[in-house]
A and B are shown apart, each in its own frame.
Chain A
């Protein structure tokens, strides 16, 4: 867009709907499955060639050659199974927009769903817990249209240089044993199961090989909560020196909940300021 000196450049705002996101997503996974079918077809052809060559050899009846032929045939059977599965996914793909939205909205851990002009589907969760302790409200994002990319944001307990979760750094989840579960669901068009599995990953994942120990993350979170509570605007120094007064004025379930609420309010205000620069335009669904 043309820019004139002295005026602010206005970027065109492209509103995206859930239906357009689904369409882009369907194109992405169709392309992935078609590539898989094609690559398996190439592998089968190559194996058939090899089998033909082996059968034409003078020692074709020897045990060694027969083992080779058998291995190529086995490989071809597996390739055909993969092809059939991929074709089945394409035929069965059920991405009914209304049904999917209804199901997602009925999920007890999901607060809202939006599609940004950046092409990301964002699922905002309610406050998630590890056993009984709050670990934050999260935003799970999946892009479609220019490659499938997955990001997870902790909207409650996060700050620069701190982990969003013991297995999420710079908004990128370190899925570990959840990798196949999550990405299989994405590639099979199982959006609901993908979101549900991501919520289970956030609330249940062990920390073996994660970015940090879960206990260490909880310690960091507690420090962050305290820092955010101190910075909370509108809370006087006198009140900060008297934590009991804060708790009495908050009227929440427990003292831990009250400091979380303080931290959340402060962070929420911060996110409101920064989100507008991250997401130009969002469509509530």
Chain B
């Protein structure tokens, strides 16, 4: 990963049904910025989780964070 400067962070974004991708962002970037960078627009039912906790798009990310964009699904056959 090529970092533009020492302040950059790398986060991984997973989304139910899509391949996970890593994005490089400036330090103190929000989840919204990370999602935009990954080309993700949240659907109505989609919720964002970071480190097992519910997060909002304004939350600040740290280097190495894994963002999981989750939507309700059915169990069963």
Contact = CB atoms under 8 A, between A and B. Distances in A.
Interface of A: 85, 99, 103, 106-110, 166-167, 173-178, 180-181, 184-185, 188, 190, 192-193, 196-197, 199-201, 204-211
Interface string B25-53: 00000000000000000000000010111
Given A181-B17, A206-B74, A193 B52 contact: no
Given A192-B66, A197-B68, 6 more contacts: A99-B64, A184-B19, A190-B14, A196-B14, A196-B68, A197-B14
Contacts of A107: 51-52
| Residue with the highest number of chain A CB atoms closer than 10 Å, among B20, B64, B68, B76 | B76
B49 A210 contact: no
A99 B51 CA distance: 13
B58 interface: no
A167 B12 CA distance: 29
A108 B16 contact: no
B63 to A, nearest CB: 11
Residue among A103, A178, A196 with most chain B CB within 10 A? A196
A131 to B, nearest CB: 12
A209 B76 contact: yes
B77 interface: yes
Given A103-B66, A107-B52, A199-B52, A208 B74 contact: yes
Contact of B68 (A175, A200, A210): A200
B20 A190 contact: yes
A196 B77 contact: no
Contact of B75 (A85, A110, A167, A192): A167
Given A196-B49, A200-B68, A200-B70, A209 B77 contact: yes
A176 B76 contact: yes
Contact of A208 (B16, B51, B66, B76): B76
Enumerate the 8 nearest inter-chain pairs by beta-carbon distance, A residue then B residue, closest first.
Answer: A209-B76, A167-B75, A177-B73, A205-B75, A108-B52, A206-B74, A176-B76, A107-B52
Contacts of B75: 166-167, 173-178, 201, 205-210
Contacts of A103: 51, 64, 66
26 contacts: A85-B19, A103-B64, A107-B51, A107-B52, A108-B51, A108-B52, A109-B52, A173-B75, A174-B77, A175-B75, A176-B73, A177-B73, A177-B74, A177-B75, A181-B16, A190-B20, A192-B12, A192-B66, A196-B66, A197-B14, A201-B73, A205-B74, A206-B72, A208-B74, A209-B74, A211-B76
A193 B73 contact: no
A224 to B, nearest CB: 20
